[in-house]
C-alpha cells in the first residue's frame, strides 16, 4: 500500500472515532461535574508532566495520521526528523544502558530521570521544570485527551497511581480499541507503542515501508493477531537501530501482569 492510499483509508476512520469520543467525553464530564461533591480534574494548562512520560501509548496509525497532518500543515520532514531523531537516539541509548525499554511501572518511573519530553512539547522552563504546552494540541492522540488526574498533580510528576474518572478512561480506551480494529481491517495489524518512537520510525524510509506493508495473520491460530500487532512494533523500533533483548521479554511479561 502507498502513503496516499493508506491515508485515504485511515484518516476518515481515525476522525470518526475521535468525533464519537469527543461527544461522549463531553457528556461524561458534564454528568460528572453536575454533582457538587464529585472531585474535579486537577490537570491545568501549563502542566507537562505526562508529556515527559517514557510511555505515551498511541497506535502506529494515529502516529501516521499525525505525521501526515504535520506535513500538510507545512512542517518539512527534515524539520520533524531533526526533532524526533535525537529524541529517539537518547531514549534508546538510555534503554540499552538499563537493559530494557521502560515497560513496567517501576522502569518508567526510573526513566523519568532522563527528563525527555515529547518532541511535540513546547517547554516554558521559566514556569517550572516540566511546564509548557502541547505544540499540536488540536490534533493530539487519544491518550493525551482522555488521560487525566483527580488528585494531586505531584503524583503525575512522580508517575504514581492517582484517581481518574473511570467512565471517561474506559470510554477513551474503548475508542483506542476502535482505532486498532480499523487499522487491523486496513493493514492486518495494529502496533501500540510509545508515540515519539513511532513517529521517529515513520520518518525513516524503512519504517514507513514497514508500516505500509499489509499482513494477513491466521486468525485461526491462537494469539496470531497479538503476535502480528506486536511484531509490527518490534519492526518499527528496529528501524531506529534498536534490537529487542531478552530483558525486554521479561519486562513485557511483568508489564502485562501489572495491567491484568
Q: Do you know the residue count of the chain? A: 260
**Helices marked H in 118-239 — which ranges?**
143-146, 153-157, 166-187, 195-202, 205-212, 224-238
Q: Tell me what the mean pLDDT of segment 115-132 comes to.
A: 87
Average pLDDT value for residue range 192-203: 96
For residue 118, what are the contacts with CB-CB under 8 A and spacing of at least 6?
51, 52, 56, 87, 134, 195, 196
Site of grid cell 491518550: 143
pLDDT (0 to 100) of residue 188 = 95
How would residue 110 be classed by pLDDT, with cut points 50, 70 and 90? Answer: very high
The predicted-structure confidence for 10-60, as pLDDT tens digits, reads as follows 999 999 999 999 999 999 999 888 887 888 888 888 888 999 999 999 999
Number of domains, the chain: 1
> pLDDT at residue 128 above 80?
no
CB 125 within 8 A of CB 52: no
Strand ranges, E, within 41-143: 57-59, 121-123, 132-134
Q: Is the C-alpha dihedral spanning 51, 52, 58, 63 positive or negative?
A: positive
| pLDDT at res. 259 | 62
Over range 244-256, report the average pLDDT.
84
- For residue 244 the three cell numbers come to 529487542
Average pLDDT, the chain: 92
| Contact by Cβ (8 Å): 60, 195 | no
Residue 125 has pLDDT above 90, yes or no: no
Task: Give the rounded percent of residues in the chain with a pLDDT score beyond 70.
Answer: 99
Q: Span 133-149, mean pLDDT?
A: 93
Calculate mean pLDDT across residues 131-154: 91
Measured in whole angstroms, the distance separating CA 225 from the mean position of its chain's CA atoms is 20
Sort 231 into a burial class: Cβ within 10 Å, 0-12 / 13-18 / 19+.
middle
| pLDDT, tens digit, 9 for 90 and up, residues 48-76 | 899 999 999 999 999 999 999 999 999 99
Identify the pLDDT of residue 57. 94
Burial pattern 176-204, b for ≥16 Cβ within 10 A else e, equals bebbbebbbebbbbbbbbbbbbbbbbbbb
Predicted confidence (pLDDT) at residue 253 exceeds the cutoff of 80? yes
Owning domain of residue 132: 3-259
Q: How many CB atoms lie within 10 A of CB 11?
A: 15
pLDDT-derived band at 93, boundaries 50, 70, 90: very high
Amino acid at each position: 500500500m502507498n502513503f496516499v492510499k493508506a491515508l485515504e483509508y485511515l484518516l476518515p476512520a481515525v476522525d470518526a472515532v475521535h468525533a464519537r469520543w469527543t461527544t461522549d467525553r463531553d457528556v461524561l464530564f458534564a454528568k460528572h461535574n453536575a454533582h457538587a461533591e464529585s472531585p474535579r480534574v486537577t490537570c491545568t494548562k501549563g502542566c507537562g508532566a505526562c508529556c515527559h512520560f517514557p510511555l505515551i501509548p498511541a497506535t502506529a496509525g494515529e502516529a501516521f495520521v499525525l505525521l501526515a497532518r504535520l506535513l500538510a500543515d507545512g512542517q518539512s520532514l527534515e524539520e520533524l526528523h531533526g526533532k524526533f531523531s535525537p529524541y529517539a537516539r537518547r531514549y534508546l541509548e538510555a534503554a540499552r544502558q538499563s537493559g530494557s525499554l521502560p515497560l513496567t511501572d517501576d522502569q518508567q518511573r526510573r526513566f523519568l530521570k532522563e527528563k525527555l519530553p515529547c518532541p511535540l512539547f513546547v517547554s516554558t522552563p521559566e514556569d517550572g521544570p516540566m511546564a509548557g504546552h502541547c505544540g499540536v494540541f488540536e490534533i493530539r492522540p487519544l491518550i493525551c485527551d482522555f488521560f487525566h488526574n483527580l488528585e494531586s498533580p505531584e503524583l503525575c510528576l512522580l508517575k504514581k497511581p492517582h484517581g481518574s474518572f473511570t467512565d471517561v478512561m474506559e470510554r477513551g480506551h474503548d475508542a483506542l480499541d476502535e482505532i486498532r480494529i480499523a487499522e487491523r481491517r486496513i493493514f492486518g495489524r495494529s502496533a501500540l507503542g510509545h508515540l515519539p518512537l513511532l513517529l521517529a520510525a515513520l520518518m525513516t524510509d524503512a519504517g514507513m515501508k514497514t508500516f505500509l506493508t499489509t499482513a494477513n495473520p491466521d486468525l485461526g491460530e491462537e494469539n496470531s493477531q497479538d503476535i502480528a500487532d506486536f511484531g509490527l512494533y518490534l519492526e518499527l523500533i528496529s528501524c531506529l537501530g534498536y534490537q529487542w533483548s531478552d530483558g525486554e521479554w521479561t519486562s513485557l511479561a511483568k508489564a502485562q501482569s501489572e495491567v491484568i
